Amino acid sequence: MLVPDSAVKQEAVELLKTLVSIRSVNPPGGEDEIVSVVKKLLAEDEIESTIVPLEEGRSSLVARVRGRASGRRQGSIVLCGHLDTVNADEEKWTLPPFSPRMDGDRVWGLGSADMKGGVAVIMALLMQIVRSGQPPKQDIVLALTADEEYAYRGAASIARSGLIDDAEFLLITEPTGGKAYCGQKGELWVEATFSGKAAHGSMPEQGINSIIPASEFCTDLAEAAQRFEETPGRGRTSLNIGQIDGGWQVNIVPDTTRVRIDSRVTSDEDKSMVLDLIERLGENAASHVGARFAYRVYNYKPPIISDVDNPHLKRFRAAVAGDGRPVPVVEIAPYSTDAVAIVPEIDVPVVIYGPGDIAQAHQPDEFIELESLYDSLAVIARFLNMSERDDDMSAKRD
Cβ–Cβ under 8 Å, residues 194 and 257: yes
Q: What pLDDT does 390 receive?
A: 62
d(CA 56, CA 242): 31
pLDDT tens string 27-80: 999 999 999 999 999 999 999 999 999 999 999 999 999 998 543 567 999 999
pLDDT given at position 52: 98
Domain at 186-301: CATH architecture: 2-Layer Sandwich (3.30)
Instruction: Compute the mean pLDDT over every residue in the chain, rounded to the nearest whole number.
Output: 94
Under 8 Å CB-to-CB from 83, ≥6 apart: which residues? 19, 24, 31, 34, 35, 38, 60, 61, 116, 119, 144, 145, 146, 154
pLDDT of 156 reads 98
Q: Is the pTM of this model over 0.75?
A: yes
229 CB burial (10 A radius; 0-12, 13-18, 19+): exposed
pLDDT value of residue 271: 98
Nearest one of 187, 390, 180 to 306, comparing CA atoms: 180
What residue type is 281 in one-letter code? L
User: Residue ranges of the domains in the chain?
Assistant: 6-183+303-397, 186-301
CB distance 178 to 290 below 8 Å? no
Q: What is the pLDDT of residues 298-323, one digit of tens each?
A: 999 999 999 999 999 999 999 999 87
Superfamily of domain 6-183+303-397 in CATH is Zn peptidases (3.40.630.10)
pLDDT along the chain (398 residues), means of 10: 94 98 96 98 97 97 86 81 96 96 96 98 98 93 97 97 97 96 97 98 98 98 97 95 97 98 97 98 98 97 96 96 84 96 97 96 96 97 86 41
Contact, 286 vs 279, CB < 8 A? no
Alpha helices per DSSP H over 99-152: 117-132
Cβ atoms of residues 69 and 138 within 8 Å:
no
